[in-house]
């Protein structure tokens, strides 16, 4: 696998971390981090235009990437999805010239960067890869600070920026900045990789299967975080994945690529799910296109309700009282930091002889407002309370989404999909009917009257 090789080489060689690191320079003329907690990022996305972009590797008969033409809008998140070896990574790496094109042009923010000094170029372009590619002998803070330091930022400014970036990707700066990469979980390393890529506030962020090496639950959370980040930052992001579900969840638009990076379809997730351009795209969309539409709606789009809550610090008497007086079957017990902890039913406390530690059932799963309805539905189905707590940025309880709300949305989505498909079918039939009529009347299409 190319990414694996790249990652093991990355920290030792100069290329990849250099690429990620060099991006930080953009901030030299851009944002100034003043406090550790507020998002002071000022640089938003830039357009990317690829014109006849081609890569022919030495010794290969065919072009790995053959004349790609594509326009990506400023602030857009575009996902490249396609089979292994079709040229996704090669196309991506030509955008920051980690791989030199054999032909064609690249423009970023309207500026032709095809012949620009690659080091300068990489200041415009952040880069994050699978397994993060962090330098193992540097702390988290040193990894993130790499390029701001090379660009000559002041110590105070670098320190503030490192803390701001860690906060942005959901890691407590006090706890994590002094650690080494090996002291982090895979998901945490991945977050630091994203923090490093964003450190210099580049308008463009390239991500090559950044969540490919983590477990599915962590991947879900990292995806949700990327969506939240993008809401705040409005970068132009090009994201590569094998996983069509990931593409649907993240992409404003998806480019389905076939061999030689030929574009099979480049459109919104809705359009691709509803009208796949051909059999190749249908094959990629896979089964259950209707249900996949659940990936297009998010928890924040549906009604978030509340439920009775108590905290572990509340007196037992009060908890008993709430259990008795609440109209619902169960109440949600929050931990000391206000995070969902357990579902308590009537009788639970009696059976546990008044011990909160033994009473009730642990909350299996929570979702954020950025989670997809599909994630929420999965969470509800695995939790026998029939609903899932919705949490804020630090895991604190903010409400619940229940099964009924979700089922209503599923019905609406399926209905909308059905109507769209019927409309499409109707249009096709009408076009065919016209054609037949013209043929029968001996009128050719060019003179057709409405």
Ligand X SMILES: Nc1ncnc2c1ncn2[C@@H]1O[C@H](COP(=O)(O)OP(=O)(O)OP(=O)(O)O)[C@@H](O)[C@H]1O
**Which residue ranges make up the site for ligand X (CB under 6 A)?**
2, 57, 60, 64, 84-90, 242
Residue 211: CB minimum distance to ligand X, A: 14
Return the C-alpha torsion angle 153, 156, 160, 163, nearest 10: 100
If the CB atoms of residues 89 and 132 are measured against Mg ion, the closer one turns out to be: 89
Residue closest to Mg ion (Cβ): 89
**Span interacting with Mg ion, options 24-32, 84-92, 318-326, 359-367, rule CB under 5 A:** 84-92
β-strand pairing of 387-391 with 397-402: antiparallel
Distance CA 212, CA 194 (A): 14
Residue 15: CB minimum distance to ligand X, A: 12
Distance CA 76, CA 237 (A): 6
Half-sphere exposure of 9 (CA within 13 A, CB side): 11
By a kind-dependent CB cut-off of 5 to 8 A, residue 85 interacts, out of Mg ion, ligand X, none, with ligand X
If the CB atoms of residues 89 and 236 are measured against Mg ion, the closer one turns out to be: 89
Residue 50: CB minimum distance to ligand X, A: 14
Residue 241: CB minimum distance to Mg ion, A: 10
The pair of structure tokens assigned to 97 is: 């010239």
Q: Sketch the per residue contact string, 98 through 137, with Mg ion: x for CB under 5 A, - otherwise.
A: ----------------------------------------
If the CB atoms of residues 85 and 178 are measured against ligand X, the closer one turns out to be: 85
Q: Site residues for Mg ion, window 199-238 (CB under 5 A)?
A: none
Distance CA 220, CA 370 (A): 11
Q: Beta-strand (E) ranges in 249-360?
A: 253-258, 262-267, 309-311, 330-334, 340-345
Three-point CA angle 150, 156, 157, nearest 5°:
60
If the CB atoms of residues 15 and 439 are measured against ligand X, the closer one turns out to be: 15
If the CB atoms of residues 86 and 160 are measured against ligand X, the closer one turns out to be: 86
Handedness of CA 226, 231, 235, 239 (dihedral sign): positive
If the CB atoms of residues 125 and 169 are measured against ligand X, the closer one turns out to be: 125
**Span interacting with Mg ion, options 29-37, 81-89, 150-158, 407-415, rule CB under 5 A:** 81-89
If the CB atoms of residues 21 and 64 are measured against ligand X, the closer one turns out to be: 64
Q: Residues 23, 47, 54, 89: which binds Mg ion (CB under 5 A)?
A: 89
Residue 20: CB minimum distance to ligand X, A: 18
β-strand pairing of 48-55 with 103-108: antiparallel
Let me know: does 269 contact 248? Beta carbons within 8 Å. yes
**Residue 166 φ then ψ, to 5°:** -65, -45
If the CB atoms of residues 209 and 383 are measured against Mg ion, the closer one turns out to be: 209
Which uninterrupted H or E stretch holds 85? none
Which uninterrupted H or E stretch holds 348? helix 348-351
Residue 246: CB minimum distance to ligand X, A: 13
Residue 1: CB minimum distance to ligand X, A: 6
Residue 61: CB minimum distance to Mg ion, A: 20
By a kind-dependent CB cut-off of 5 to 8 A, residue 57 interacts, out of Mg ion, ligand X, none, with ligand X
By a kind-dependent CB cut-off of 5 to 8 A, residue 384 interacts, out of Mg ion, ligand X, none, with none
The pair of structure tokens assigned to 321 is: 């009282």
Task: Give the strands of the sheet with 65-72, arranged side by side.
Answer: 65-72, 48-55, 103-108, 111-112
Number of residues lying near Mg ion (CB under 5 A): 1
By CB under 5 A, tell whether 261 contacts Mg ion: no
Nearest to 214 by CA among 191, 182, 244: 191
The pair of structure tokens assigned to 374 is: 């599909």
Which residues would be at the binding site for Mg ion (CB under 5 A)? 89
């Amino acid at each position: 696998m190319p990414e694996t090789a790249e990652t093991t080489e990355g920290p030792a060689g100069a290329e990849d971390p250099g690429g990620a690191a060099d991006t930080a320079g953009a901030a030299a003329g851009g944002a100034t981090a003043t406090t550790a907690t507020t998002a002071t990022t000022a640089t938003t996305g830039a357009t990317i235009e690829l014109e006849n972009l081609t890569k022919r590797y030495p010794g290969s008969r065919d072009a790995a990437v053959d004349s790609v033409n594509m326009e990506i809008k400023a602030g857009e998140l575009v996902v490249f999805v396609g089979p292994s070896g079709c040229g996704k990574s090669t196309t991506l790496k030509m955008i920051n010239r980690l791989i030199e094109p054999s032909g064609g042009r690249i423009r970023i923010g309207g500026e032709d960067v095809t012949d620009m000094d690659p080091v300068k170029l990489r200041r415009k372009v952040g880069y994050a890869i699978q397994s993060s590619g962090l330098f193992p002998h540097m702390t988290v803070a040193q990894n993130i600070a790499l390029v701001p330091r090379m660009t000559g930022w002041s110590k105070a400014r670098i320190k503030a920026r490192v803390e701001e970036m860690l906060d942005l990707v959901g890691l407590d700066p006090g706890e994590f900045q002094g650690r080494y990469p090996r002291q982090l979980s895979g998901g945490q390393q991945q977050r630091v990789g994203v923090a490093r890529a964003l450190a210099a506030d580049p308008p463009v962020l390239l991500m090559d299967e950044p969540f490919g090496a983590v477990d599915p639950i962590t991947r879900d959370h990292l995806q949700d975080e990327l969506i939240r980040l993008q809401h705040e930052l409005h970068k132009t992001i090009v994201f590569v994945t094998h996983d069509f579900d990931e593409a649907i969840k993240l992409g404003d638009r998806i480019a389905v690529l076939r061999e030689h990076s030929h574009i099979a379809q480049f459109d919104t997730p809705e359009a691709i799910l509803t009208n796949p351009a051909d059999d190749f795209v249908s094959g990629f969309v896979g089964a259950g296109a209707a249900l996949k539409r659940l990936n297009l709606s998010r928890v924040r789009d549906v009604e978030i309700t509340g439920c009775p809550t108590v905290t572990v610090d509340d007196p037992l008497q009060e908890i008993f009282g709430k259990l008795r007086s609440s109209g619902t079957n169960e109440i949600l017990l929050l931990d000391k930091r206000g995070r969902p902890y357990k579902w308590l039913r009537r009788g639970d406390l009696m059976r546990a002889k008044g011990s909160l530690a033994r009473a009730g059932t642990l909350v299996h799963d929570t979702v954020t407002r950025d989670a997809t309805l599909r994630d929420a539905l999965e969470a509800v189905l695995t939790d026998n309370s029939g609903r899932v707590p919705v949490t804020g940025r630090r895991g604190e309880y903010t409400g619940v989404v229940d099964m009924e709300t979700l089922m209503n949305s599923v019905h609406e989505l399926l209905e909308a999909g059905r109507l769209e498909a019927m409309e499409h079918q109707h249009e096709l039939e009408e076009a065919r009917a016209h054609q037949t009529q013209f043929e029968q009347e001996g009128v050719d299409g060019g003179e057709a009257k409405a």
